[in-house]
Amino acid sequence: MSTSVGKLTPMTVQRATPKSIRTRKAIETAARELFCTNGFERTTVRDIGARAGIDPSMIIRYFGSKDALFAQVAEPNLQLQDLDIIDMDGIGEALVRHFLAQWEGEQAGRGLPVLLRSAASNDDAAGRIRDIFQEQVFPVISRAGPPETAPDRAGLVATQLLGLALARYVLRIPPVVAMSSDVIVKTIGETVQRYATKG
């Protein structure tokens, strides 16, 4: 949900007819897939248009620019609020399981793969990932240990979770790809648990 249909782009005013809604959604879906697969730089407006089955010029008309489209599409919401009520003894495994589900699920983290794929090429993609961890991961980790070590603990958790995503979904290192979710949750969960609580 929340593809923010009502959110007007700062350009040509445009009514939200049923058809325009479908077109906008088609563009966003195609953009997400291509940004995620090829990263920001290697994805062209023309490619997105072709995949969405609409004219490339419509993309500019709807979103104003390629950058604006990327910003619209790369808004990860890790939905970690679900974990707030979990007891801290299982925070490690819970975090890993949650992340795997986010990456492999239908919504695919709503943008995290897109960002990670483009973090090296898009100017602010790295900054957005930083924001995500500060705003969404840090608060959760904070409560799992002494407050004064919270930044370090959150940072360590970030290295392991991002490294897992990088190796499994971007670089596709064979044994990491082949590993079952259960093994990952158990093995890496133990690491995350230690990072989150003891640092």
- The distance of Cα 45 from the centroid of its chain, to the nearest Å, equals 21
d(CA 149, CA 27): 43
Nearest C-alpha neighbor of 70 from the set 80, 60, 57: 60
Asked if residue 2 binds DNA (CB under 7 A), the reply is no
DSSP assignment of 136-159, as one string? IIHHHHHTTS-GGGHHHHHHHHHH
Task: Note whether 158 binds a copy of itself by CB under 8 A.
Answer: yes
Query: Rg (Cα) of the chain, in Å, rounded?
Result: 18
CA atoms within 13 A on the CB side of 169: 25
The least distance separating a copy of itself from the CB of residue 61, rounded to whole angstroms, comes to 26
Residue 111's nearest CA partner among 45, 47, 165 is 165
Sole window of 9-17, 59-67, 99-107, 147-155 interacting with a copy of itself (rule: CB under 8 A): 147-155
We find the least distance from the C-beta atom of residue 14 to a copy of itself, in angstroms, to be: 31
Segment contacting DNA (CB under 7 A): 12-20, 115-123, 137-145, 165-173? Answer: 12-20
Q: Which is nearer to a copy of itself, 105 or 127 (CB)?
A: 127
Q: Which is nearer to DNA, 122 or 193 (CB)?
A: 122
Cα separation, 179 vs 197, whole angstroms: 26
Question: Which spans of this chain sit near DNA (rule: CB under 7 A)?
Answer: 14-17, 19-20, 23, 43-47, 54-58, 60-61, 64-67
Question: Which spans of this chain sit near a copy of itself (rule: CB under 8 A)?
Answer: 38-39, 41-42, 116-121, 126, 129-130, 133, 151-152, 154-156, 158-164, 166-168, 170-176, 178-179, 183, 187-188, 190-191, 194-195, 199
